[in-house]
Chain A
Amino acid sequence: MGFVSVKAGWDAVENAEKLVEQRRIGHDAPLLTLPQIKTQLRGAVDKVMSEGSLYDEELAALAIKQAQGDLIEASFLLRAYKTTLERKGYSQPILGKEMRVLRRISSTFKDVPGGQILGESLDYSLRLLNFNLMEEKKTETEDIEDNQEKDTLREFSYPKVSEILRKEGIVVTEKKEEFSFDITRESIVFPAPRSAILQSLARGEEGAMLCLAYSSLRGYGPVHPTIAELRRGYLPVRIKHPITGETVKIGEIRATECEAVVPEYREKQIFGLGYGLVLGYNERKAISMAVLDKTLQSTEHKSPSEDEEFVLYHIDGIDSSGFVEHLKLPHYIFFQSDLDRLRKIQEKSDTYAKK
């Protein structure tokens, strides 16, 4: 059977899409529901919200379902939806200190004010396949004390380790930027302001950022930081009331924040700080972001992770997957043109060889 490429194009395109949809539902297994995805594929939901840069668990779950688990595709769906939404205003700046903390750890000191709170984590689990999950019946969960419930009723903020160190003059105090750059409204310019760097990193693709951060740690970069603090929990979102002008809290978002310190001897004898803040819970990405924020403060560009154009132009999952996959598009013209050159030059090289 031949591949009809010209006339049946319209049908082929529609059928290709239908086939994918058919694979999703054409079987006897129960269909996924959004609550299932939201509650049991939390890592996927948070990755998609972060890279799609839209905080909406419901829509992220929908995107994951529709993209059949392809998370870059799902992030793309979410970001494409986000862009249709009207920008009604900007929320007020939030301090990480205000976080209603569910988990917070510091690698710099054995104990810190407020304490180390291990919370929910797989860091210290044994990676053994649990075959019992293959045929699982829902059982009662054990009752383990958790900050989740405890803190909902009271305002409590944990002191930031970085602030304590800053007071002592051990950690750098950063300059405030008057205006926050908005990478969704303006094309990024280089050298990029820190706000643009942090925004790009915040919605960067986890895998790409992980790769670059790891390269810096391992031997192609200057930064191997210590985590002053990694915390996750709920951050308040506030806006200025459009009529009264007063600041009002309109809700909370889940987030992961990482502050990493690196000794700097070059200009000042002080610890520099790398900052990571990610929508949802994604510690791997928050740490990678802190590493890259720090590498991008470097004035020498010896390694890929220190080069802001290299990093910021290549970590966006939606940009990079789109362009790499565009190679599947027809390139007949382009190729024909190359073909012509190659043939001509082959001919010539034959004649030259004969001479």
Chain B
Amino acid sequence: MLKNEINQSHYNFAFLDENTKREVRRKILKAISIPGHQIPFASREIPLAKGFGTGGIQITLSLLGREDILKVIDQGSDDSVNAINIKRLVKKTCNIEITEDAKQASIIQSRHRIPEEKLENHQILVLQVPFPEPLRRVESEEKKTRRMHAEMDYSRMWLYLYEDLIKHGEITIGARYPVMVNGRYLMDTTPIPRWDIPNLNYSENLTLFGAGREKRIYAVPPYTEVLPLEFKDHAFRVEDFSGKSCEKCGASNTFFDEIIVDESGARRYVCSDTGFCKKRREYNVA
């Protein structure tokens, strides 16, 4: 907390002015209408550093009403420093209810994870995006990648995956795995792990993607096909956690944080989704 508290009356509800929120909401509507297509937006300065979630927070702040319940996670964790910082901003400028329960939230802002619990059609997931352009891996120039999208020319991305496969026997892309949305647009999945990608496919909830620094918004509407790029003879695969289970709740089918215990290099594993893990322990599911 700042020692001398900021005078709140200087700022509008949810920080952004109403016209800015309206612009963001219009761009969101456009994004929903063309699933997976990147929509440019003005992107204002907000009091977080660029790269810390400024795109996601602009979407969240534009959508928040006084009745909303917000959950903010970073790397799956409700207590991560960056999640706390975003919640501080929301608390300061909106004073709405904040939850750690993925089922309770009407809006969930997240960096790098989709909650393990299945989201429903009244919920909105907002993902923070560092690289909106999935083709940036193969092409540096924006004017060229825009043309490639327009022509649905994704051959260079396919070639990238193919060369990877030939050289290493595996595809080297970890997180940020490219997907096709609605059979039309290639989309960057932010660095969510491959583990989370199946959860985007025909999900009940709306997923919005905000890239503040790169000034782009895109969306996956509910019940939309989202498929990872894969070859017929080499299926897409998620991270392998076989034989591991969460030290806290015993879950074995979740994405794990690997933690180095000591200098000998010993490891332990805990659920990355802290809200989910806590719930399992409270309800004694283990």
A interface, CB within 8 angstroms of B: 109-113, 118, 123-128, 130-133, 139, 142, 159, 161, 164, 167-168, 218-220, 263, 265, 269, 303
- For the complex formed, measure the closest distance between the CB of A40 and the CB atoms of chain B, giving whole angstroms: 16
CB–CB A123/B49 < 8 A = yes
Complex CA–CA separation, A125 to B85 (angstroms): 7
Which residue in A110, A112, A128, A164 is a CB contact (below 8 Å) of B6?
Answer: A128
Q: Shortest 3 CB-CB distances between A and B: which pairs?
A: A132-B4, A127-B47, A124-B85
Considering the complex, give the chain B residue whose CB is closest to the CB of A221.
Answer: B140
Q: Is B224's CB within 8 Å of the partner chain A? A: no
CB–CB A303/B6 < 8 A = no
CB–CB B265/A118 < 8 A = no
Complex CA–CA separation, A219 to B135 (angstroms): 10
CB–CB B140/A109 < 8 A = no
23 contacts between A and B (CB under 8 A): A109-B257, A109-B258, A109-B259, A110-B77, A110-B257, A113-B261, A118-B81, A123-B81, A124-B85, A126-B92, A127-B47, A127-B49, A130-B2, A131-B7, A139-B3, A159-B263, A161-B260, A167-B265, A168-B265, A218-B131, A218-B136, A220-B140, A265-B172
- For the complex formed, measure the closest distance between the CB of A91 and the CB atoms of chain B, giving whole angstroms: 28
Residue interface mask B81-108, A partner, CB < 8 A = 1 = 1101100110010000000000000000
Chain B 229-247 interface residues, beta-carbon cutoff 8 Å to A: none
CB–CB A126/B49 < 8 A = no
Which residue in A109, A164, A168, A219 is a CB contact (below 8 Å) of B136?
Answer: A219
- For the complex formed, measure the closest distance between the CB of B235 and the CB atoms of chain A, giving whole angstroms: 20
Considering the complex, give the chain A residue whose CB is closest to the CB of B174.
Answer: A263
- For the complex formed, measure the closest distance between the CB of A262 and the CB atoms of chain B, giving whole angstroms: 12
B interface, CB within 8 angstroms of A: 2-4, 6-7, 47-49, 52, 75, 77, 81-82, 84-85, 88-89, 92, 131, 133, 136, 140, 164, 167-168, 172, 174, 257-263, 265, 270
Complex CA–CA separation, A110 to B274 (angstroms): 12
CB–CB B85/A113 < 8 A = no
- For the complex formed, measure the closest distance between the CB of B1 and the CB atoms of chain A, giving whole angstroms: 10
**Given A109-B257, A113-B262, A159-B263, residue A124 in contact with residue B81 (CB < 8 A):** yes
- For the complex formed, measure the closest distance between the CB of A287 and the CB atoms of chain B, giving whole angstroms: 12
Which chain B residues border A126 with CB–CB below 8 Å?
A: 2, 6, 47-48, 85, 88-89, 92
- For the complex formed, measure the closest distance between the CB of A106 and the CB atoms of chain B, giving whole angstroms: 9
CB–CB B48/A127 < 8 A = yes
Considering the complex, give the chain B residue whose CB is closest to the CB of A163.
Answer: B263
Find the residue from A130, A218, A219, A269 having the highest chain B CB count within 10 A. A219
CB–CB B2/A111 < 8 A = no
Which chain A residues border B164 with CB–CB below 8 Å?
A: 265
Complex CA–CA separation, A131 to B259 (angstroms): 42
CB–CB B167/A109 < 8 A = no
Considering the complex, give the chain A residue whose CB is closest to the CB of B257.
Answer: A110
CB–CB B81/A112 < 8 A = no
- For the complex formed, measure the closest distance between the CB of A95 and the CB atoms of chain B, giving whole angstroms: 15
- For the complex formed, measure the closest distance between the CB of A110 and the CB atoms of chain B, giving whole angstroms: 4
- For the complex formed, measure the closest distance between the CB of A235 and the CB atoms of chain B, giving whole angstroms: 21
A-B contacts besides A110-B270, A142-B3, A164-B265, 7 pairs, CB < 8 Å:
A112-B259, A123-B49, A124-B81, A127-B49, A159-B263, A168-B265, A263-B174
Complex CA–CA separation, A109 to B261 (angstroms): 11
Complex CA–CA separation, A250 to B7 (angstroms): 49
Which chain A residues border B81 with CB–CB below 8 Å?
A: 118, 123-124
Which chain B residues border A111 with CB–CB below 8 Å?
A: 259-260
CB–CB A265/B167 < 8 A = yes
CB–CB A124/B84 < 8 A = yes
Complex CA–CA separation, A349 to B243 (angstroms): 80
Considering the complex, give the chain A residue whose CB is closest to the CB of B268.
Answer: A111
CB–CB A113/B89 < 8 A = no
Which chain A residues border B47 with CB–CB below 8 Å?
A: 126-128
CB–CB B140/A303 < 8 A = yes
- For the complex formed, measure the closest distance between the CB of B87 and the CB atoms of chain A, giving whole angstroms: 11
CB–CB B263/A164 < 8 A = yes
Which chain A residues border B131 with CB–CB below 8 Å?
A: 218-219
